[in-house]
Structure 1
């Protein structure tokens, strides 16, 4: 069944099976985990963490829509606000690390020890 132009967002989301959202969110989360575990660049690790966070947000919105309960969407709003603060603090830390040791390779962070 094709969504019409007059269909509201929850109706369109409910036409897509919940399994598709589960598979999509799982794939995003796994890609994020692989990025965190295999990369040594601090910015790529940071982006992988954000990807995992967005996978969880996608799943919360999908379940919220299927249950017709706005609680999940409210949680996503607060998670995004906390993620914005995390990005600003995290990028500031990465910039300070780069200024001190001239690299953002996490393997070189042992130079920060006394």
Structure 2
């Protein structure tokens, strides 16, 4: 279900799920839903930009997807072998010495 569909069936309130989520997750999620709801009311598309994807990657989340809205099995969302939250790749270590580390930055 998309935000326009949720509005069309009469849902007016959403609960943001997430135990142990910090203020960054709550702020990012609330802002994303606010923008999506505003776009739906104005009947305009709400594409996810590369900047949005970087912001999402920087907070703990299970990634993008309808997950529980579509009845997804929790085990297919969370693999359990490694943490989903790994942050954003910002560089590659090219040299390590006794007192320093040289990192070659990547574009974000």
Structure 2 length as normaliser, TM-score? 0.32
Q: 1 or 2, which has the higher helix percentage?
A: 1
Q: 1 or 2, which has the higher strand percentage?
A: 2
Instruction: Return the structure number with greater relative CO, CA threshold 8 A, min gap 6.
Output: 1
Structure 1 length as normaliser, TM-score? 0.31
